[in-house]
Structure 1
C-alpha cells in the first residue's frame, strides 16, 4: 500500500511535536496505514503505542465518577441519576457506560495483544526502544484489565488478537484470582523493562513506578472485603477461600516497594496547608506525581474548569459537591463537625480541615474576579450561592437578591448548583475558563495514595503503629493534628477511611473504596443533601442561617443495592459471547 501525500501531515506533526517536547500521545495517525506499514517502521510502531495511551480515560471529562457516589451530583443528568437510583440493568447501565467501557477496553487490549505478536518483527536499530515499548504495553494491558476487573470482577483473559475466522474467540470469564495474578504479573513485566523516569519527549509515558503503583492499587483492591466475601462460590466474583493474610501482605509489600525507593515525597512547597494541597494538582512534575496525563493549551487542553466552574462566572457548574460529602470534613482540631453544635451551625465554614478550603467553593469563599458583566455586582470576587436581604433606599424597603452563582442568578439562570456548592479542587484560579482551556495534569497515581495503600494493608495485618505513622504523614501535611497512639482498632479504621476519603476526594477513588469496604449500600443510599443559605438584614448586622435540605431534583431516593457491588455485564456483550455468565442479581 503506497503512502499518499495527504497522509504525511500526521506523521510530520508527530515528529514536530516530539522535537518541541510536546505531549503527542493523543495523536492518531494510524488510520491511513496498513498493518505492514506499522510493523515495518519503528516510528509508526511507537505511534501505535501512543494511540493506546489515549484509551486511558482521565478524570477531567464532563461527567466525573464522583457523581455516581456521595461526593457530588451531575446537574445535567446524562444517565447519572439512573446509575445512582438503582435503575441499572444489563440493557442500560446509565452513566457507567462512560467509565467501565467493556467494549472499549477490550478493543484496547486487542491492540496490546497485536503489539506483542508483532513487536519482534519491527526493525529497531536501538533494542532499548523495543524493550521500553514492551514495558509500556505491559503496563497498558495491565491497566485496561484492571479497569474491567474492578467494575465487573473476573473477566475473560484474552492474550491474542483474534481474527474474524478464529473459532475459539469466545471465552468464559476467568476467575478473579486468575485476573489478579495476570495483572500483577503484567505490572512486574512492565517494571522490568521501563525506566524509573521518562524525560523530554517521553514525559507522560509509563515508568517503572507507574507499573508498581498500579500493582499496589490493584493488590489492595484484591485483598479487600468485596472480593473476599464469605460464602462466595463463583470464582469469577471473588476469591473462594484461600489465605487472606497473604493477600494483605502482597498489598503491603507492593506499596512498600515504592516507599523504599525514596523516589517520591508528599508535596509541601509552602508553609500553608491549603496552598500545598491546591498545588499538588497545579504544579507539573512535583515530587508527589507518579504517573500523570499532561495537557497542552495549544493542542488538547482540559475543560475541567469550564465544566465545573460557577454559573456566575459563565461556567457550566457540572459536578457539584453534596452536603453529604461536605458535612464529613472534620474541624481543624480533628473533632467531627456537628451541626447540632450551635457554634458549628452558625459558622459551618469556619475552622474546618484545611483540605476543605482547597476542595470546595462555598458561599462566601474567595474566588476570582468576575467577568465584565458581573464585576459591578461583585467587586470582591467571592462565591454567592445564597439569598441575601438588602435595603433598597429608593423603595424604602427590604428586598431579596439571589446570589450570582445560584440558579436564579441575574447573570445566568442555568448551569447553577443544586447543592449550594461548587468544586474548587483541580481548578486554576488564574484561568478564564469561559474562553480558555487549562493544562493541569490528571494524576492517575500519586504518592499519597501509596502511603494510604500501605497504611490500610498494615491495619489489616495488625501493624497499627506502622499504619498510624503513615496516616499521620498525610494528616500533618494537610495541617491536621496527628492521630494519638490511643487511636486503635475500629477507631483507627475509621480514621484511616476518613483520611482516604478526603485526601483523595474527586480523584475517582470513592466509588471503588465504598464498594470494596462493603459500605456502599449505606453510603450511597438515601437522600442527596444540599444547603440553603439565607442572609437576614438586621439593625446592625447580617445574620446567616443555614438550612440542610434534600436535593429537589433527585425525584427518586439514591439506592445502592447489594447487586450493585458489581456492574451488570451489558446485554449486547452477553449476546456476543454465550459463554459469559452474568453477575448476581441481574
Structure 2
C-alpha cells in the first residue's frame, strides 16, 4: 500500500455535508448515493453537486480553540497562539498546544492541531485536495444553469472555487513542511502508482500562485452578497497569492533554509536569496488595495462579529453562537455567563501595545505609568485583552490574587491576570452573552496592508507608501495623529527600524488570528524567542482605586526550539510507505 492509501479510499468525498446544507438534503445520506445520482445529468440546479462543494469547504481550518487532544477535549481546546509568546494555555494539565510551544517530542509538534482537520494535518489536507479533484473531474457532467454578474457561468465559478480550495490546502501543507508532492488534476485510484517525490519549495510556490491567478477572474466579485458570504471570491484568491509570496520572500525560505545541501535544501526553501521576491509580494498586496472594494472597519470589534463587512476578504462561516466567550471568557460570573478561561495572554503581548500617542511604553516620553498601566494605551488593547479593571458583563474585572476572576484553587482560570477579549461581542454593559457570528476570518484588509508594508519596506526601504499603510491601521485603531500627523511613528527610519515597527504592528493588530505562530518562523526568530521565559502579572489588591501593584512572574519557561522545528517532520509511516519521500532537515 502506498503513502496515499488514506487519501485514495473512494469513500472520502461523499461524506455527510455540513449542517448548514442538511436542510435541503434528500432523505438518503450522500455517502450511500451513487456517482450518477450525485453528478446528475438532469440536475440544472446542481443540488447534490453543491453539497459536495460545501463538503470541501468544511476542510478549511476552523480557527479559535481548535488545538485539542484527540483523546480528550478536556485536555486541549486552545488557540494556536498559545504556542507562541502571545499566550499560554490556562489549563492545569499539559495540553497539546503546550507541547507544540515547548517542542517536546515529534508527534505533538506534527499532529496536535485539532479542529476540522483532526489530528493528521498531512492526510487531512491531501483529503481536501482529493475532494477538490473529484469535484473538478465530475462537475461538467451536471448541466448547471446560471451565470454570475461578471458573466462567468455558475459551473465555471464552482469549479474555480474548488480549484482555489485545493491551492489553499497546498498552502497549509507548504507552510508546515516546505515542498510537498503535487498530485496534479487526475483523480488517482488505489491501483495507480502515486509514490510521488516531494516537489521543491519553489515549484510549490509557483503552483499555488499560478492557481490563484488562473481562477481569480472566474470567481465571484467583491464585495460578496450576504447570501453567498463564506464563498471564495476574486479577492480571496488574490489574498492567498499575496500571503504565499510574502512567506516565500521571508528569511526562512528565501535562501535562509535550514537544509544544508542537495534535495533537502530545495524542499526547505529557495536555494539562494533573491530580494526581488519582496517586490513580487508587495505588488500582489498592492493589487488588492487597488481593487478599491475593501476598507478598514471603524470599529475593530465589529470586524469579527459582523458577518459580512468591507474588511473581511474571506472567512470560514462558523454560524452564530457564544462558543468563544464560553471557552475563553473569565470565570467568576453566574450561570452561562461564566467562561472556560482557556486562554491567558502574556505580559509580553500586553507590553507590545503602544500608548494612544503611538509611542512604545519603553519610550520615556510616552507617558506610560506602571501603576496605571492600561491608561491611555492603544485602543486595540481594549479590543484584544481583558485586564484588571476592564469592564465586562456589567462589572469590572478582578484579576488580583483572590479576586472574583482569579480566585485561586484548582479551577481553570487565568495564569497571567489577563483574559482573551478578541472575537467576542459587545458585552461590556450586558449581563450575559448573546449569540453573534463567530466566523474564522482567514483574510482581511488589515493583513493586506501589513503584508504590503513589510514587503515594500524590505524591497525599497521605508518609503511614503509604507508609512501610509501603517498610518491607516493606526488611525482606525484610534491612535492619536499627533502634531506631526505621524501616529507615533518616527520619520526617517532605517529599513531595520521600520522592520521592527511593522513586526510589532502585525503582532498587536493580528493577535490570536493564527499569524504570530507562522510569522516568527518565517522571520526565523522563533529560536531566539523560545529561549526567553513568558510572564504574567501577580497583582495585589490596592487600597488606592485604579492603581495596580503588580509583580511579573514567569508562567512558562520555553525549552530551546531546535532549528529543525522550523519545519514539521514527515511522519515515519508516510516515509515507510513511500521511499521516494525525503525527510525534512534535522529530523
Pick the TM interval, shorter chain: 0.7 to 0.9
**1:414-442 Cα distance to aligned partner (Å, 9 max, x none):** 12111110001111144989886542332
- Does the alignment pair 1:227 with 2:253? yes
**1:266-292 Cα distance to aligned partner (Å, 9 max, x none):** 112xxxxxxx22222222322111112
Larger radius of gyration: 1
Question: CA separation in 2, counterparts of 1:38 and 1:252?
Answer: 43
- Decide which moves more: 120-129 or 486-495: 120-129
- Decide which moves more: 151-160 or 33-42: 33-42
464 and 28 in structure 1: CA distance in 2 versus 1, 3 angstrom threshold: farther
- The residue aligned with 2:472 is 473
Question: CA separation in 2, counterparts of 1:308 and 1:434?
Answer: 14
Alignment of 1:429-448 (within 5 A): 429-430=426-427, 437-448=435-446
49 and 337 in structure 1: CA distance in 2 versus 1, 3 angstrom threshold: same
1:326 corresponds to which of 330, 350, 354? 350
1:163 corresponds to which of 189, 202, 211? 189
1:361 corresponds to which of 383, 386, 399? 386
- The residue aligned with 1:64 is 79
Q: How many residues align?
A: 526
**1:182-216 Cα distance to aligned partner (Å, 9 max, x none):** 10111112202102134353221101111111111
Q: Secondary structure at the match of 2:396?
A: coil
- The residue aligned with 2:505 is 499
433 and 195 in structure 1: CA distance in 2 versus 1, 3 angstrom threshold: farther
Alignment of 1:421-460 (within 5 A): 421-430=418-427, 437-460=435-458
1:417 corresponds to which of 414, 422, 440? 414
Preserved CA contact (<8 Å) 1:138 1:190: yes
Q: Secondary structure at the match of 1:469?
A: helix
Q: CA deviation at 1:468?
A: 1.5
**1:538-573 Cα distance to aligned partner (Å, 9 max, x none):** 7xx78641100011xx4x534322111111122232
Preserved CA contact (<8 Å) 2:179 2:267: yes
- Does the alignment pair 1:175 with 2:200? yes
Preserved CA contact (<8 Å) 1:10 1:29: no
Question: CA separation in 1, counterparts of 2:427 and 2:551?
Answer: 33
Q: CA deviation at 1:29?
A: 5.4
17 and 267 in structure 1: CA distance in 2 versus 1, 3 angstrom threshold: farther
Alignment of 1:176-255 (within 5 A): 176-197=201-222, 198-230=224-256, 233=261, 234-241=265-272, 244-255=274-285
Question: CA separation in 2, counterparts of 1:545 and 1:13?
Answer: 50
Q: CA deviation at 1:469?
A: 1.6
Q: CA deviation at 1:308?
A: 0.5
Q: Secondary structure at the match of 1:277?
A: coil
462 and 44 in structure 1: CA distance in 2 versus 1, 3 angstrom threshold: same
Q: CA deviation at 1:463?
A: 4.5
Q: CA deviation at 1:16?
A: 4.9
Preserved CA contact (<8 Å) 1:305 1:433: no
- The residue aligned with 2:371 is 346
- Does the alignment pair 1:47 with 2:44? no
- Does the alignment pair 1:120 with 2:140? yes
Question: CA separation in 2, counterparts of 1:458 and 1:285?
Answer: 29
Question: CA separation in 1, counterparts of 2:19 and 2:363?
Answer: 61
Question: CA separation in 2, counterparts of 1:542 and 1:150?
Answer: 45
66 and 170 in structure 1: CA distance in 2 versus 1, 3 angstrom threshold: same
52 and 517 in structure 1: CA distance in 2 versus 1, 3 angstrom threshold: same
450 and 418 in structure 1: CA distance in 2 versus 1, 3 angstrom threshold: same
Q: CA deviation at 1:36?
A: 2.5
Preserved CA contact (<8 Å) 1:204 1:291: yes
Structure 2: 5+ residue stretches without partners: 1-13, 66-76, 148-152, 480-486
**1:6-60 Cα distance to aligned partner (Å, 9 max, x none):** x9x9899848569xxxxxxxx9953232223222252211110111111101212
Normalised to the residue count of structure 1, the TM-score between the two structures is 0.83
Q: Secondary structure at the match of 1:344?
A: coil
Question: CA separation in 2, counterparts of 1:450 and 1:31?
Answer: 39
- The residue aligned with 1:287 is 310
Q: CA deviation at 1:336?
A: 2.2
Alignment of 1:463-542 (within 5 A): 463-465=461-463, 466-480=465-479, 481-537=487-543
Question: CA separation in 1, counterparts of 2:51 and 2:379?
Answer: 43
Question: CA separation in 1, counterparts of 2:156 and 2:467?
Answer: 40
Preserved CA contact (<8 Å) 1:80 1:94: no
Q: CA deviation at 1:382?
A: 1.3
Cα RMSD after superposing both structures:
2.9
- The residue aligned with 2:130 is 110
Normalised to the residue count of structure 2, the TM-score between the two structures is 0.83
528 and 230 in structure 1: CA distance in 2 versus 1, 3 angstrom threshold: closer
Q: CA deviation at 1:321?
A: 0.4
Q: Secondary structure at the match of 2:503?
A: helix
Q: CA deviation at 1:537?
A: 3.6
557 and 498 in structure 1: CA distance in 2 versus 1, 3 angstrom threshold: closer
**1:149-207 Cα distance to aligned partner (Å, 9 max, x none):** 001101111123221111x1121111001100110111112202102134353221101
Q: Secondary structure at the match of 1:549?
A: strand
